[in-house]
Structure 1
Amino acid sequence: MAREKFGSRLGFILVSAGCAVGLGNVWKFPYICGEYGGAAFIVIYLFFLVALGLPIMISEFAVGRASRRGVAKAYDVLEPEGMKWHRFKWSGIAGSYILMMFYTMVGGWMIYYAYRLATGKLNGLNSDGVKNAFSQMLGSAGTMTLWMLIAILFSFGVCILGLQNGIEKITKVMMAVLIVLMVVLAIHSVLLPDASEGLRFYQIPNFKDMAKKGIGTVVFAAMTHAFFTLSVGIGAMEIFGSYMKKDRSLTGEATSIMLLDTFVALMAGIIIIPACFAYGVKPDAGPSLLFITLPNLFNHMPGGRIWGTAFFIFMSFAALSTIIAVFENILSFYMDMFGWSRKKAVAVNVILVSMLSLPAVLGYNLLSGFQPMGSGSTIMDLEDFLVSYNLLPLGSMVFVLFCARKNGWGYENFLAEVNEGAGKKFPKWLGKYMNYVLPLIIAVVYLKGYYDTFAPMGVKTLVCWMAVAVILLAIIFVTSMKKPVKAKNA
């Protein structure tokens, strides 16, 4: 069967950007920015986005386009004879499933809140009423399951239509609407009374305030968020690389996607932060900012029901575009490994993903007594830890080392693939950076994530889990240093 291909360059960019533009951009970025000093944080974040996120994304695209396979078979196609890189495909497969085990639920939250705002169900509630409405949603397993299933069925419904007729066509519309909504919401936000103070906080770097938080803390927060924001490491980008044509260089295409992803993140901050300042709310309220603080703000705004509905439609599209992209990655496992038809893969995974998503839903109600990451934690916290602090960084390291090391695909082969076609070229002199510096930075991000997670649980727990982290890193580095039997040509 011939490999599907994107119908247009714009389609590839928008679909890939839709995968990257997830809830981390429009949910997490504004409150992290608020917590770590506004514009000063953004400056550092943008630097690390180019230094970390861009080369990893390019690596994923290159592996996909050269192999014409998803992550389940790409290493098998490109690795030298006798090497074991293909064993790492299971981290990509596991990562995609575990991510969807809670992301589909959160996507359902966004759609549900768009419905709530549109139907006026939060109108007239005071701050306690809005807070209770969120708690009631979390306490209702039936409500959360219904809206989670809506997100799953819609997203698989798009995937079953195929690459061009489904994913490309519908994601292009969703992304266009998302961008229009963002611009309209941003204009409205900056025109609110007293919004200028929020704009100054957001746009003018204040390194003195950053120093109060701790420069090292802020730098690491910016580096970590830049690393995670592009959805790299589990093959969600790699699958779209496998559908690319060879007429454009990968560096230029990845740069366009990164710029669009960054635009969405920055615009989300312009929507949220000036509104918070206008109504005297701190923009560092954490995740509760989205479901408690902002609905309160919409209740006090003229036309707040309209603006709130538009905001959560925008959030729904951001979530659904990522879900669709990762679902396509999941479907590719079965189509590439077993030769299944798209329809058969969808039919099996609608049931499988729906069942796997239930523990995260039940973790807020029927299974709330199970607190796997310590007091107050949920099943979603465990799933998020497995993906964000393990499979994404480790998977990213594998992609980078596979592209850079001689016993992997090899830097020369990687460079030839990346630079094929018109557009910006990847510099040859970055080989040593890809080989040594970037993996080291990823390792630091990975170990710091473990430290931050387990240090509050005591020294014994920390030492035990840090040992696990070091062992996992060692497995990857040992694989990357084995001598190849025979080089693989591109």
Structure 2
Amino acid sequence: MEEKRTRESLGSRLGFIFLSAGCAIGLGNVWRFPYITGLHGGAAFVLIYLLFLLFLAMPIMVMEFAVGRASRQGVAGSFEVLKPEGGFWRLFGRLALAGNYILMMFYTTVTGWMLAYTWYAASGTLTALSPEQIGANFGALLGDPKALIFWLFVTVLIGSAICFIGLRTGVERITKIMMCGLLLIMIALAVRSVTLPGAEKGLDFYLRPDFGKLMENGLWNSIYAAMGQAFFTLSLGIGSMAIFGSYIGRDRALTGESVVITALDTFVAITAGLIIFPACFAYGVSPNAGPGLIFVTLPNMFNHMPQGRIWSSLFFLFMSFAAMSTVVAVFEHIIACSMDLLGWDRRKATTVNFFAILLLSLPCVFGFNIWSHVAPLGKGTIILDLEDFIVSNNLLPLGSIVYLLFCTTRYGWGWDNFIAEADMGRGLKFPRALRGYLLYVVPVIMLVIFAFGYYEKFFK
């Protein structure tokens, strides 16, 4: 299929790596990973997570990159280009694009919380509050639709403005700055945290495996959680990675690039644990304190630290960078698909999607206040829970199975075509011997995750 226009491209390999890593790195790395690690016993859980990351998630990342690079399209058009006669593949492309919109409908709201707390910390608002007032402050933010809409607007405006400027001058250049800033802030916070008095207990919990602690929460529950974290941390299944494959040349083999990106994503997650756990143990905070850990517990902890206002500001800035890197990456994918499908230029695609995402995100905002009575998944749930469930428990695992089947069977793109694309260029090649494992073993694991997710959600 001949392309309608010259495909935009990234200016450097570093830009591709940082963009792809920025899409993967998000709140799941810097908050969810430390939280579930604390819940499931620490270091032993981390070992299982790393195994699943290597043997389950990373091969699918290579497949997404290969599909994107071969088709030069976003998820909505890539399957059609590589397998035009396949009606099912075309339908999946549209569903995956819808998944990107649904992801943005709640991720932008949560990112707004991070921006709000960066402002609160930098302005000294949190420093002046008592522990009880800090808890009430987060509740007041969620209960104020005007405040949430303001921070949602700021989030969407920043994300769309970066994409509006252009792929190289906006998305690539600014993501490089954000990622460099994120890594520097994380290293500074980790050094500060591990040198706190009493931090050694947190390091012992985090770095010394104790399989007895793993069993305390149930072995199967811990294994399921490790698989889920490895799978979701790389944002696989809805084409969020494939779009960046469509922007790069064929001078580098994709397996080696995937290893680098996975390593960077893992570094951020592991370093987040080095920030959270030593600080929690140093100040007697439970590492599995739940959703209030970041917005309630940690601000109280920072208030007791020397130069706490500075460290609190850096912490929430780091959280904002992590969240915004994902917002920009997914926004870019949505814009690219609009350009591919509708023939729009970048400015029109960005402008239309700015208003679309802003409006689509309002139900999530209202779910915390004026629509808080709406419980779409049963008592105690909110609209954000439904949106997250659609993406995390359905589209991501099922989408990854689709990529696996598309790249390994003759009914899709096929194994030989995938290998030829993945191995083109310098660097580490994809192991051909993995076809049987990928075709017969990995889909079963994915279906188990999918089924167990439904069981946990509706029957337990």
The structure 1 residue matched to 2:183, chosen from 166, 179, 182, is 179
Match of 2:34 in 1: 30
Q: Quick check: 293-302 or 39-48, which moved more?
A: 293-302
Matches within 5 A, 1:404-423: 404-423=408-427
What are the ranges of 5 or more consecutive residues in structure 2 without an aligned counterpart?
none
Matches within 5 A, 1:173-212: 173-212=177-216
Matches within 5 A, 1:134-149: 134-149=138-153
Instruction: Output the CA distance in 2 between the equivalents of 1:334 and 1:38.
Output: 43
Match of 1:267 in 2: 271
Matches within 5 A, 1:317-356: 317-356=321-360
Match of 1:389 in 2: 393
Matches within 5 A, 1:143-162: 143-162=147-166
Give the secondary structure class of the aligned counterpart of 2:235: coil
CA displacement 1:209-268 (0-9 Å, x = unmatched) = 112222222111111111111011111101001001100000000110000000000000
Letter in structure 2 aligned against 1:106? V
Does 2:112 match 1:108? yes
Alpha-carbon shift at residue 455 of structure 1 (Å): 1.0
The structure 2 residue matched to 1:449, chosen from 443, 448, 453, is 453
Instruction: Output the CA distance in 2 between the equivalents of 1:378 and 1:81.
Output: 40
Counterpart contact for 1:273–1:283, Cα < 8 Å: yes
Alpha-carbon shift at residue 406 of structure 1 (Å): 0.5
> TM-score, normalised to structure 2's length?
0.98
Match of 1:254 in 2: 258
The structure 2 residue matched to 1:359, chosen from 351, 363, 380, is 363
Instruction: Output the CA distance in 2 between the equivalents of 1:39 and 1:192.
Output: 20
Matches within 5 A, 1:89-100: 89-100=93-104
Counterpart contact for 2:42–2:207, Cα < 8 Å: yes
Alpha-carbon shift at residue 81 of structure 1 (Å): 3.4
CA displacement 1:415-466 (0-9 Å, x = unmatched) = 000000000000111111121111111111111111100014xxxxxxxxxx
Counterpart contact for 1:232–1:392, Cα < 8 Å: yes
Match of 1:431 in 2: 435
Instruction: Output the CA distance in 2 between the equivalents of 1:79 and 1:455.
Output: 39
Instruction: Output the CA distance in 2 between the equivalents of 1:85 and 1:119.
Output: 50
Counterpart contact for 1:80–1:409, Cα < 8 Å: no
Counterpart contact for 1:32–1:286, Cα < 8 Å: no
Give the secondary structure class of the aligned counterpart of 2:459: helix
Give the secondary structure class of the aligned counterpart of 1:370: coil
Alpha-carbon shift at residue 82 of structure 1 (Å): 5.0
Counterpart contact for 1:27–1:287, Cα < 8 Å: no
Give the secondary structure class of the aligned counterpart of 1:361: helix
CA displacement 1:307-326 (0-9 Å, x = unmatched) = 00000000000010000000
Counterpart contact for 1:91–1:395, Cα < 8 Å: no
Counterpart contact for 1:80–1:407, Cα < 8 Å: no
Give the secondary structure class of the aligned counterpart of 1:84: helix
Instruction: Output the CA distance in 2 between the equivalents of 1:80 and 1:379.
Output: 37
Instruction: Output the CA distance in 2 between the equivalents of 1:375 and 1:126.
Output: 32
Counterpart contact for 1:37–1:209, Cα < 8 Å: yes
The structure 2 residue matched to 1:61, chosen from 39, 62, 65, is 65
Instruction: Output the CA distance in 1 between the equivalents of 2:218 and 2:174.
Output: 44
Match of 1:14 in 2: 18
Instruction: Output the CA distance in 2 between the equivalents of 1:35 and 1:379.
Output: 25
Could you list the runs of 4 or more consecutive aligned residues of structure 1 that deviate by over 6 angstroms after TM superposition?
none
Match of 2:134 in 1: 130
Letter in structure 2 aligned against 1:243? Y
Instruction: Output the CA distance in 2 between the equivalents of 1:342 and 1:200.
Output: 50
Letter in structure 1 aligned against 2:267? F
Instruction: Output the CA distance in 2 between the equivalents of 1:80 and 1:305.
Output: 57
Change (3 A) 1:269 1:82: closer
Counterpart contact for 2:80–2:86, Cα < 8 Å: no
Alpha-carbon shift at residue 124 of structure 1 (Å): 3.4
Alpha-carbon shift at residue 302 of structure 1 (Å): 1.0
> TM-score, normalised to structure 1's length?
0.92
Instruction: Output the CA distance in 2 between the equivalents of 1:254 and 1:286.
Output: 31
Give the secondary structure class of the aligned counterpart of 2:381: coil
Letter in structure 1 aligned against 2:60? I
Counterpart contact for 2:73–2:337, Cα < 8 Å: no
Counterpart contact for 1:92–1:391, Cα < 8 Å: yes
RMSD: 0.9
Instruction: Output the CA distance in 2 between the equivalents of 1:431 and 1:94.
Output: 30
Instruction: Output the CA distance in 1 between the equivalents of 2:332 and 2:341.
Output: 14
Letter in structure 2 aligned against 1:301? M
What are the ranges of 5 or more consecutive residues in structure 1 without an aligned counterpart?
457-490
Matches within 5 A, 1:370-385: 370-385=374-389
The structure 1 residue matched to 2:306, chosen from 288, 297, 302, is 302
CA displacement 1:31-79 (0-9 Å, x = unmatched) = 1010101101000000000111101111110000000111111011101
Instruction: Output the CA distance in 2 between the equivalents of 1:370 and 1:290.
Output: 26
Letter in structure 1 aligned against 2:262? M
Letter in structure 2 aligned against 1:418? A
Counterpart contact for 2:203–2:277, Cα < 8 Å: yes
Instruction: Output the CA distance in 1 between the equivalents of 2:294 and 2:96.
Output: 30
CA displacement 1:355-398 (0-9 Å, x = unmatched) = 00000000000000111112221100110001100111111111
Match of 2:238 in 1: 234
Counterpart contact for 2:108–2:152, Cα < 8 Å: yes
Alpha-carbon shift at residue 80 of structure 1 (Å): 5.7
Give the secondary structure class of the aligned counterpart of 2:361: helix
Letter in structure 1 aligned against 2:49? Y
Counterpart contact for 2:23–2:329, Cα < 8 Å: yes
The structure 2 residue matched to 1:289, chosen from 276, 293, 301, is 293
Match of 1:214 in 2: 218
Counterpart contact for 1:83–1:407, Cα < 8 Å: no
Match of 1:484 in 2: none
Instruction: Output the CA distance in 2 between the equivalents of 1:368 and 1:82.
Output: 42
Match of 1:399 in 2: 403
Counterpart contact for 1:56–1:399, Cα < 8 Å: yes
Letter in structure 2 aligned against 1:295? P
